[in-house]
Amino acid sequence: MSVLALACFITGCDSTGGNVVISEGTISYDISYPGRVEGGLLDGVLPKEMKMEFQNFRYVNTISAAGMFETKLITNCKDKTVTFTFNFGPKKIYAVMSEQTADSLMHEQFKIPTLFDVPGTDMVAGYRCNRTFAVFDELEEGPDFEIKFTDDIQIKQPNWCNQFSDLDAVLLEYELKQYGLRLKLKANAVEEGSIQESSFEIPAGFKQVSIEEMVYQFEEVFKNFQ
């Protein structure tokens, strides 16, 4: 990756595999759907990638599907707030969650796995990652899976609002189960670079709704993909 190669040259990155330490840039993830039978009419509109733009204590994850909808998750790790935006046809809405609301919603909708360290490291998107294994108490809570992560992408407590809050590191490979879908996200590129302030702002024309309304809208869309 040319950006990483340039950064290694400037910072004197270890040629034996040391990671480039950055605090601002973009991570691109591939999205796949383990266990989902392919061949349905909706295969072509399922989201295939996620973009994560980060800057010190905040980041925004953007997922879109074939021009049908776009959703953003804007996370402030210092103020402990999460803002969802959802753009689906004429519907343009957003909702803001406090730490207390995020914690309550997470425990209501998602099962929290137990994490077990795995020996050795692995390379993901040019970064040497540590590994851990996520194990659930019951099979119906979800299949166990491996997580690969790095603390060389410097976002303080990036997982405070998700199931992996015990990991103070950026996840480059992991799985989620949301709205009846199992998603696997694996980074394919990490690029250092300035992020515009507008990336963290709510676009014009969006209407604020309750978090309950936002969850309902997500469920209505994603149930069609199952």
Per-residue pLDDT, 8: 30
Torsion of CA 135, 159, 213, 139, to 10 degrees: 0
How confident is the model over 57-98, as pLDDT tens digits? 999 999 988 677 899 999 999 999 999 999 988 899 999 999
pLDDT of residue 2 exceeding 60, the answer is no
Per-residue pLDDT, 3: 34
What's the average model confidence in pLDDT over 100-107?
79
pLDDT of residue 125 exceeding 50, the answer is yes
CATH number at residue 210: 2.50.20.10
Distance separating alpha carbons of residues 3 and 185, to the nearest angstrom = 22
Helix (H) / strand (E) element for 159: namely none
Least confident of 21-25, 35-39, 40-44, 45-49: 40-44
Per-residue pLDDT, 52: 98
Number of domains in the chain: 1
Percent of the chain exceeding pLDDT 70 equals 82
CB-based burial label for 134 (10 Å; 0-12, 13-18, 19+): buried
- What are the residues whose beta carbons fall under 8 Å from the beta carbon of 146, sequence distance 6 or more? 118, 131, 132, 133, 134, 173
Q: Which residues pair with 70 in a beta bridge?
A: 64, 87
Q: Which domain holds residue 141?
A: 2-225
| CA-based nearest residue to 126, from 14, 20, 206 | 20
